[in-house]
Structure 1
Amino acid sequence: MKIFVYSHMDDETEYFEKFKKKYNVDMILTHKAPTIETAELAKGFDCISIITTPINALLIKKFNEIGVKFISTRTIGYDHIDVKKARELGISVGNVTYSPRSVADYTVMMILMVTRKLKAIMQNSSVQDYSLKGIQGRELHNLTVGVIGTGRIGKTVIKNLKGFECNIIAYDVHEAEEVKAYAKYVKLDELIKNSDVITIHAPGKVENYHIINKNSISKMKDGVFIINTARGALINTYDLIDALEKGKIAGAALDVIENETGLYYNDLKCEVLKNRELAVLKSYPNVIITPHTAFYTDQAVSDMVENSILSCIAFSEGKENPWKL
């Protein structure tokens, strides 16, 4: 079988070579992203592999015209793909899974960094300000951590946090028995009201859009910390900024943000940042911003490449495909 791979990154090369041989597949790799102009490159291929480039209805239609039958995104999230249009045209779509420890470990790091005010400490230290003013942190064992979403990543976060002896409460539409050994499931409203730290691990579905907003923030404890390593659209950025400026939220650690497409994974140091909210948040001493890198480990990249290939193989051979949406 043949797979056309878009947005191939140099850090993926060794894994594409490894799994190309292991699974005996033909692949063409390009650094180019999938666009109307580059769509023709995939002519003659049933399967394409992409990352986070938006695949809108127009591009879906173009891929359909040249015979593409399956789109595999090397990501867990798939909100960058017009899945509805793909289904209308008979194109199947799949995502991938990868090591949940990548994001889970990063999340715990972010929780520790924001509750211990590490950004302010590092900024002060860089100018040789070694005073203690404004950098007193909090200890996790004294806090209640609310975990929104207990899928593979949220579940792993909870297991990691148990070692810090903090009180853990969780919310998910589908409760997992395994989680109940470590955390107490509560209603979302109860989690919002009772958590000192809220970490989000929900999918970027329409029903979760702006799950953190002015209304939910108003119910939170004063001095709450917000962590988001899931999807930017889960938080209303304007409302977050307002709450940070009013002191309602004591700090935030964000690996994702609304309207990050076209910004993250690019070198923009000499350009005006085309996202005012991101620019504002970056200026706050109590807000940690990272460029959607929580997933980025050697194991995760290997898993993303391998599972995208396996998903394409399963589709082509008509076998059960755990990643097909």
Structure 2
Amino acid sequence: MQCKIGVFSCQAYDQKTLNQASEHHKGAELKYFETTLNEQSVSLCQGLDTVCVFVNDTVNESVIIALAKSGVRHIALRCAGYNNIDLKAAKKYGLCVSRVPAYSPHSVAEHAIALMLTLNRKTHRAFNRVREGNFNLNGLMGFTLHGKRVGVVGTGHIGKATANILKGFGCTVLCCDPQPDSSLAAECTYTSFDDILQTCDIITLHCPLNDDTFHLIDHHNINQMKDGVMLINTSRGALIDTKAMIEGLKSEKIGSLGIDVYEQEASLFFTDHSMDIIHDDIFERLQTFPNVLITGHQGFFTREAMEEIATTTLANIVHFCQGTLSEHNRVI
């Protein structure tokens, strides 16, 4: 088997793990591009069989048309979500789309818990104080997580892992999902989204981004929440209406916010902007709140997850070339 693969949004760590995985697939010829795949960069795909993309690549209809004209037959996502792919266009022009449906869900779940604990006990602020010789505890008071009501919105692999960790902390865990997990239902309580909004001290989002979940957290739903609620999002940025969130923070309805994703992250995340002027005023406003903690889409970023992503992605590409790609990993 010979397959030419273009890997976009590629960082050094992607190249390392994909090279290791490709040792078991000698016919896989990998070409790496640091740039994102979009309407400007799609011209780089001439002569490729497969494009391998990540969360912030733009694979809309115009890109798909150009891919099809270039001879590309397969879009291989190295992530679980596929909201950045125009699936109707891919089907129309005969391109297969594959993904990595489950890669170390514990990695993202543990990061969500880390955001909760850091925001609550303010360890990031305590670290800076102690380094400066300031041992004053004023402003560092948190709350006991044990016994708190935590709402888990979405109980797929990651949401389920998060719920199980929270149970270990002694939390009362409420869940909502259109398709409840029977094994989780024995340990946690499934309820309505409105009930979670109105009664939970902490709400953590673990659902895909689609038409039903776009701006799931908006002005209306923020107003339903308990005063001082903690909100965590490690899924997709557009689950939250960021402008509405800023108003919720200003009114103190939102007590704290931890996000590993952001609506407009494509122009910011995975790149060093430390010497740049950031022109995203909404993001910069978020940064001014002392009760907001932002990480740059690193929830997935563990050795185990990266190895699993690379292995599964390469296997998907090989199976596509052989005509044996499973329905489990194939989107269309």
1:275 to 275, 280, 284: 280
Distance 1:4 1:225, change over 3 A: same
1:13 aligns with 15
Cα distance per residue 1:123-182 (max 9 Å; x no partner) = 544544332222210111131110000000000111111110011000001001111132
Does residue 1:246 correspond to 2:248, yes or no?
no
Tell me, yes or no, if the aligned pair for 1:192 and 1:220 is still in contact at 8 Å: yes
Tell me, yes or no, if the aligned pair for 1:3 and 1:46 is still in contact at 8 Å: yes
Tell me, yes or no, if the aligned pair for 2:6 and 2:48 is still in contact at 8 Å: no
AA at the equivalent of 2:328: P
Decide which moves more: 309-318 or 287-296.
309-318
1:90 aligns with 94
The alignment partner of 1:147 has SS state of: strand
Q: How does 1:83-162 map to 2 (within 5 A)?
A: 83-96=87-100, 97-162=102-167
Shift of 1:20: 1.6
- Cα distance in 2 for partners of 1:36, 1:251 equals 37
Distance 1:237 1:22, change over 3 A: same
- Cα distance in 2 for partners of 1:14, 1:122 equals 32
Tell me, yes or no, if the aligned pair for 1:3 and 1:49 is still in contact at 8 Å: no
Shift of 1:210: 0.8
Shift of 1:267: 0.9
Q: How does 1:201-280 map to 2 (within 5 A)?
A: 201-280=206-285
AA at the equivalent of 2:52: S
Cα distance per residue 1:219-262 (max 9 Å; x no partner) = 11111000000010001111111111111111011111111112
1:324 aligns with 330
Tell me, yes or no, if the aligned pair for 1:86 and 1:92 is still in contact at 8 Å: yes
Decide which moves more: 145-154 or 49-58.
49-58
Tell me, yes or no, if the aligned pair for 2:18 and 2:310 is still in contact at 8 Å: yes
2:178 aligns with 173
Distance 1:46 1:191, change over 3 A: same
Shift of 1:265: 0.8
AA at the equivalent of 1:201: H
Decide which moves more: 86-95 or 128-137.
128-137
- Cα distance in 2 for partners of 1:119, 1:229 equals 19
Tell me, yes or no, if the aligned pair for 2:11 and 2:34 is still in contact at 8 Å: no
- Cα distance in 1 for partners of 2:131, 2:84 equals 38
Decide which moves more: 312-321 or 290-299.
312-321
2:191 aligns with 186
Tell me, yes or no, if the aligned pair for 1:204 and 1:231 is still in contact at 8 Å: yes
AA at the equivalent of 1:15: T
Q: For the aligned residues, what is the CA RMSD?
A: 1.7
Q: How does 1:67-82 map to 2 (within 5 A)?
A: 67-82=71-86
- Cα distance in 2 for partners of 1:30, 1:255 equals 25
Decide which moves more: 45-54 or 265-274.
45-54
Q: Which runs of 5+ in 2 are unaligned?
A: none
Cα distance per residue 1:257-311 (max 9 Å; x no partner) = 1111120011111211122121111121111010111111111111111111111
AA at the equivalent of 1:64: A
Distance 1:90 1:147, change over 3 A: same
- TM-score, normalised by the number of residues in structure 1: 0.94
AA at the equivalent of 2:282: E
Cα distance per residue 1:87-106 (max 9 Å; x no partner) = 22111212213111110111
